[in-house]
Structure 1
Amino acid sequence: MSTPFYVSPEQLMKDRADFARKGVTRGRALVALQYDEGVLLASENPSQALHKISELYDRIAFAAVGRYNEFENLRIAGVRMADMRGYAYDRRDVTGQGLAGAYAQTLGTIFSSGGEKPYEVEIFVAEIGDRAEDDKIFRLTFEGMVADEHGYAVMGGNAEPVGRHLKEHYEPGGDLAAAVSVAVAALGQTDKDPRVIPVDDLEIAILDRTRNQPRKFRRITGDKLRDLLGDRGAETPDGPSDEDLAIHAPSQVTGVDDPSDPTDVVSGGTPPLEDPLTGEPPVAPPPEG
């Protein structure tokens, strides 16, 4: 009779953690910063379609590194949970802490389960309040641990040099231009010489408490980003042509709120596909006779 194969629980958890950690560190770094009017999220991302930073709800943003298909599933689940809770109860009942707790439970269950591999992801859930003191940044690891970050946080590949640069140069209470500059400079840090990341390879978004719309999430792209970077943005080659600026203005280039921009429509304005109580799809009323 052969001896059954045995792995101690400690070794099994260590192997799963090493596996997930390698997947996370293969991704590019992602930075979260608090500034005077909100929270900034920034990362290097050459793709214009596959976003690492997205909106979850009115005042809540989601950012992740690792396997795209895995953190995209988590993002969609978070959007559905937020919309259902806001629709069934009240929009004020949707909080970043509640979503972070749900993510932690999901990631922890997957990590400790022996039936499937752990998720190779790390997540930021950021929420802004009416004051800077009320802003929150939650960091979630692949094993389901939650940390409440203050000031700045970094995750993903090359995190050590990026974190060192932020520790030396980040100043609390700075404006948006200062936050963008220090975040982009930090993302270019390496163990050797720093590098300059092209503007078109940057993905930057903010939660802006001064925005008039209920939705506080806004992406920063095009000329708006170049203006914030100053000389650093002007030196970047291969900027958009005048024709491109005319096509994409004003929502993507100028950064000015545009009522015709679909991203300025209040999220959750239409009811979800399922009834929050019965789970059944909505039924149209019968026509009047």
Structure 2
Amino acid sequence: MTQPFYVSPEQLMKDRADFARKGIARGRSVVVLGYDDGIAFITENPSGALHKISEIYDRIGFAAVGKYNEFENLRVAGVRYADLRGFSYDRDDVNARGLANAYAQTLGAVFTTEAKPLEVELAVAEVGTEQDTDQLYRLAYDGSVTDEPGFVVMGGAADQLSARVRTEWDVGMSLPQVLALAVRVLAGSGENARTISTASLEAAVLDRTRHRRTFRRLTAQRLTQLLAEAPPAAEPTDATAPEGTSADGTAADGASDPAAGSPNPADSPPDPPTSPDSP
């Protein structure tokens, strides 16, 4: 009798995690950014019918990357959870933290007990009365939850894009500013930079200035108008200026400057004439 094939629990969990991460990395990135009047969602999505960004409840939004059929089932379950809780108790009792906990339980149970994990990554956002009261949660394929401070980047090269957002995003930015930042990040930089048309973008906001239902989608025309209102991006500082020169091109203190006192050979007195008899 042959021995059954044995796989250690550690190897099994590692294989499942690698499988889920590869599936998520194939998806187009989603960027979620807080701004002065709400929370903005933006992603590349050429389809006008299959949404990666959606409304869950009055002040709660949802974004996802990965397999569409899997995160769409989770979105529908989230809407039902929010509606049932709001009907049974009160609309104010529906919040992003409770929804994130419900999603975490589902994702964690599937990851540990099912043959295949869900190839999805989720962001759940709730807009508050002020920017410092906004809630933003990131949920991984294994059910782990992270409370994010102001922005989330998921899918694709999320680590590299997140690092760039971290250097440019700041509290109090306007909607045109965060949308322009998201488009720059999605377009890439350097040799891999490309141009993204607004027709291929899906964008939405949770607008804290609206009463009750705060979610609204941004059409391509409106997105173009907002991007046109954004100030130009700041030029990167040249940190590799020549020695003795500051980054703005001016001479540093103590550096030699011909116009600032170094002798000019043309102004030096001529050498005395040499006698023909001199050795």
The alignment's TM-score, normalised by the length of structure 1, stands at 0.77
| 1:89-108 superposed matches below 5 A | 89-108=89-108
1:207 alignment partner in structure 2: 206
In structure 2, what is the Cα distance between the partners aligned to 1:74 and 1:14?
24
In structure 2, what is the Cα distance between the partners aligned to 1:90 and 1:42?
30
Specify the code of the residue in structure 1 equivalent to 2:228.
G
In structure 2, what is the Cα distance between the partners aligned to 1:227 and 1:190?
23
> Secondary structure at 1:230's aligned position in 2?
helix
2:157 alignment partner in structure 1: 158
| 1:1-289 superposed matches below 5 A | 1-113=1-113, 115-189=114-188, 192-211=191-210, 213-230=211-228
- Runs of at least 4 residues off by over 3 Å: none
- After superposition, the Cα gap between the structure-2 partners of 1:215 and 1:192, relative to the gap in structure 1 and judged at 3 Å, is same
Q: Deviations over 1:184-209 (max 9, x none)?
A: 11111168421111110101111000
Q: Deviations over 1:156-214 (max 9, x none)?
A: 01223322321222122111110111011111116842111111010111100001x31
Deviation of residue 133 (structure 1)?
1.0
The alignment's TM-score, normalised by the length of structure 2, stands at 0.80
Specify the code of the residue in structure 2 equivalent to 1:92.
D
Q: Deviations over 1:24-75 (max 9, x none)?
A: 0000001110111111111100000000000000000000000000000000
In structure 2, what is the Cα distance between the partners aligned to 1:160 and 1:135?
23
Specify the code of the residue in structure 2 equivalent to 1:216.
T
Specify the code of the residue in structure 1 equivalent to 2:123.
F
Residue identity (%): 55
In structure 1, what is the Cα distance between the partners aligned to 2:55 and 2:177?
23
Greater CA deviation, 191-200 or 170-179?
191-200
Deviation of residue 231 (structure 1)?
8.0
CA-based RMSD of the aligned residues comes to 1.4
Greater CA deviation, 119-128 or 186-195?
186-195
Unaligned runs of 5+ in 1: 233-289
> Secondary structure at 1:207's aligned position in 2?
strand
* Bigger-Rg structure (1/2): 2
8 Å Cα contact 2:108/2:142 also seen in 1: yes
- After superposition, the Cα gap between the structure-2 partners of 1:230 and 1:16, relative to the gap in structure 1 and judged at 3 Å, is same
Greater CA deviation, 213-222 or 143-152?
213-222
Specify the code of the residue in structure 1 equivalent to 2:55.
E
In structure 1, what is the Cα distance between the partners aligned to 2:229 and 2:195?
12
Deviation of residue 128 (structure 1)?
0.8
Specify the code of the residue in structure 2 equivalent to 1:88.
S
8 Å Cα contact 2:176/2:229 also seen in 1: no
8 Å Cα contact 1:158/1:190 also seen in 2: no
Specify the code of the residue in structure 2 equivalent to 1:138.
Y
